[in-house]
A and B are shown apart, each in its own frame.
Chain A
Amino acid sequence: MAAKGYVEISVECCKGCGLCVVSCPVKCLEIKKTDTNSFGLHYSFQAEDKCIACKNCAIVCPDACITVYKKTV
């Protein structure tokens, strides 16, 4: 079954602070430690397809990098 939601995180906007990672109740976000954006910063990404579209990550993100999508039906 398709996940209830998913997120898109802007790589260039992200500063890798990790606040979204610890706010996620289903622990599907991670910081990409093996890569950086053009500012030389690690960035957050959705590592597992189990997002429940709760918006916690987007609400705590200080840089407003996250868009949250929810399944319509």
Chain B
Amino acid sequence: MREGYEVVYKRPKSLIETRMHYCPGCFHGTVHKLLMEVLDEMEIVEKTIGVCPVGCSVFAYDYMNVDMQEAAHGRAAAVATAISRLHPDKYVFSYQGDGDLAAIGTAETIHACNRGENIVFIFINNGIYGMTGGQMAPTTLKGQITTTSPHGRDPINAGMPLKMSEIVSGFDGVAYVERVSCNTAGNARKTKKALEKAMKISEQKIGTSFIEVISNCPSGWKCTPVQSLDWIKDEQIPYFPLGVIKEPGK
């Protein structure tokens, strides 16, 4: 270190010192890092149990130094329900992609939210099935080209992109819903704040929290990481507006 300087930011302790397998610029890494910062700062690493999905973040347990359970594709909400009920004193989060949470796992997600399970959902909406090679997801935008929508998503046969945050915010069991992104430093800071708020709500045991992170998939979108930031700003955010959708007491 240079003389007369101090460290003001470093890699969070609970993000395991290893190389994550994600493609360059992929927000999965950003969200893992922000979540570990929150758990470290709240000093709740030992009291937290995570569930990871099938999708690119299938190995999330190799990166977060937290007790974790892998779930079958789409079933994370059901697994997290069991963990939360058996360990009511723990902070339970379920980290899932859009193919996992909003396609194959729609039923589990909706019912867990409707029951108001004490789970913090971290929903990585990158509008695509990243892991399997960039197929259309329920969240793929109208007109967006993917390997299974080569002429662009056509709402006539695929419907419009699913707004999961708006759907789950309608359930009495859900306490807190916010849509965030990591496309700018300011938005990444808000993502961290939202994760922290969700963990605090979990402590109060007043219902489900649902944080939707508008994310990227440079490989599946066939663009550079920097270009993916423009797509988020110009295409995704206008359809999936950021901000608090529901919060306790409101």
A: residues with CB less than 8 A from B are 2, 5-6, 12-13, 15-19, 21-23, 41, 53-73
Contact = CB atoms under 8 A, between A and B. Distances in A.
Contact of A15 (B6, B9, B15, B25): B25
Task: Determine which residue in A2, A12, A21 has the highest number of CB atoms from chain B within 10 A of its CB, and name it.
Answer: A2
Contacts of A68: 7-10
Contacts of B10: 58, 67-68
Interface string B1-27: 110111111111001000110111111
A63 B4 contact: no
Contacts, number: 96
A53 B229 CA distance: 23
Contacts of B188: 59-60
Contacts of A17: 24-25, 218, 225-226
Given A19-B229, A60-B185, A13 B19 contact: yes
A18 B9 contact: no
B24 A41 contact: yes
A15 B24 contact: yes
B33 interface: yes
Contact of B29 (A6, A12, A62, A71): A62
Question: Helix, strand, loop or mixed for chain B's interface?
Answer: mixed
12 contacts: A53-B8, A55-B8, A55-B9, A55-B185, A59-B189, A60-B184, A62-B20, A63-B19, A63-B22, A63-B29, A67-B10, A67-B11
B24 A70 contact: no
A22 B9 CA distance: 19
Contact of B26 (A13, A16, A62): A62
Nearest to B186: A56
Interface in B211-233: 218, 224-226, 229
Task: Determine which residue in A6, A55, A60 has the highest number of CB atoms from chain B within 10 A of its CB, and name it.
Answer: A60
A22 to B, nearest CB: 6
Contact of A73 (B4, B19, B27, B192): B4
